[in-house]
């Protein structure tokens, strides 16, 4: 493993009144990796994600990016230093065209209109949005909007891309189409942290997976290791599930 990871979260805790949504969770994202963050519903994934993206401040803990403490850095400043995010519930600029939507992201590195528009077009083509460039973003399908979310984030030319359930709400064939897109983004040199519900996608895409359950990190490792971890199986399927599964497997092998 390299010396310092691109992103390091240490001891992140987030309380909402009496509720502890994230409890002393730590996570490293290595440069060049696709890291997955999974967990059952209500595990605190989105809260953890929001803290990393700078849309909420943690009650305790620190977020460092390239060794620099960014815990208190506002969201727009994080975009400037190279952290981009998408939204789980897509947030297109509905009144604007696809091109204009992506250009808002592109303006961050290209202040001139023509350069920003050209850049937007490039990225749209890369993400398969070429034919919809002049369409209103409000008219896109769900799959189109998810792509637009990624395109806009990529237009800010990030070194770390935070994807919040970009596959949720897609049908299996759309998911199959999306997986190579995500992989291509990583291959272009962008590190990816992906919060995801769709297990099949996580298994295929991620180098490392971290599992959050009831606000705590309960497992970390390669996807295959994590998937067979009894703690993880119990977190998803309930107490005693791991034992029952083992028993069943034992019975079928016999």
Give the residue among 206, 203, 235, 205 at the shortest CA–CA distance from 219. 235
- Backbone phi and psi for residue 128, each to the nearest 5 degrees, phi listed first: 75, 25
Q: Is 116 in the site for other proteins (CB under 8 A)?
A: yes
- To the nearest whole angstrom, how small is the minimum distance from the Cβ of residue 17 to other proteins? 20
What is the rounded distance in angstroms from the CA atom of residue 169 to the CA atom of residue 235? 23
Choice between 53 and 242, CB closer to other proteins? 53
Note whether 91 binds other proteins by CB under 8 A. yes
Residues contacting other proteins: total by CB under 8 A: 32
Residue from 85, 99, 119, 146 in contact with other proteins (CB under 8 A): 85
Q: How far apart are the first and last CA of the chain?
A: 41
Indicate the residue among 98 and 232 with the shorter CB distance to other proteins: 98
CB of 140 to other proteins, least distance (A): 14
What are the phi and psi torsion angles at 141 (to 5°)?
-75, 170
Asked if 87 interacts with other proteins (CB under 8 A), we say: yes
Residue of 105, 144, 215, 223 that binds other proteins (CB under 8 A): 105
CB 30 within 8 A of CB 1: yes
> From CA 234, how far away is CA 248, in angstroms rounded?
15
Query: Cβ of residue 150: shortest distance to other proteins, in angstroms?
Result: 12
Stretch that binds other proteins, among 14-22, 65-73, 91-99, 171-179 (CB under 8 A): 91-99
155 binds other proteins (CB under 8 A): yes
The set of residues, in sequence order, having a beta carbon less than 8 Å from that of 189 and lying 6+ positions away, is 32, 159
Of 22, 43, 84, 127, which one interacts with other proteins (CB under 8 A)?
84
| Residue 12, CA distances (Å) to 27, 104, 117, 127, 137 in order | 9, 31, 38, 33, 35
- Tell me whether strands 160-164 and 191-195 are parallel, antiparallel or unpaired: parallel
Please list every residue from 121 through 140 that binds other proteins, using CB under 8 A: none
**Residues near other proteins, by CB under 8 A:** 53, 55, 74-76, 79-80, 84-87, 91-96, 100, 103-105, 107-108, 111-114, 116, 152-153, 155-156
């Amino acid at each position: 493993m390299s010396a310092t990871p691109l992103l390091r979260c240490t001891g992140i805790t987030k309380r909402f009144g009496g509720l502890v949504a994230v409890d002393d969770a730590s996570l490293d994202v290595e440069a060049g990796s696709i890291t997955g963050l999974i967990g059952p519903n209500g595990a605190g994934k989105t809260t953890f994600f929001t803290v990393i993206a700078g849309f909420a401040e943690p009650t305790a803990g620190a977020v460092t990016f390239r060794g620099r403490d960014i815990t208190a850095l506002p969201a727009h400043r994080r975009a400037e230093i190279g952290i981009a995010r998408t939204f789980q519930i897509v947030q297109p600029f509905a009144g604007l065209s696809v091109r204009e939507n992506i250009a808002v992201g592109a303006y961050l590195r290209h202040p001139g209109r023509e350069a920003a528009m050209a850049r937007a077009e490039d990225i749209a083509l890369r993400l398969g949005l070429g034919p919809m460039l002049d369409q209103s973003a409000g008219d896109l399908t769900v799959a189109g909007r998810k792509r637009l979310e990624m395109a806009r984030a990529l237009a800010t030319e990030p070194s770390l891309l935070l994807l919040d359930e970009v596959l949720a709400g897609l049908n299996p064939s759309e998911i199959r189409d999306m997986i190579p897109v995500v992989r291509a983004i990583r291959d272009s040199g962008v590190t990816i942290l992906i919060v995801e519900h769709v297990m099949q996608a996580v298994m295929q895409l991620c180098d490392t997976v971290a599992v959050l359950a009831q606000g705590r990190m309960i497992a970390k490792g390669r996807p295959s290791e994590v998937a067979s971890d009894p703690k993880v199986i119990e977190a998803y399927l309930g107490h005693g599930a791991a034992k029952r599964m083992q028993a069943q497997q034992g019975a079928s092998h016999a």
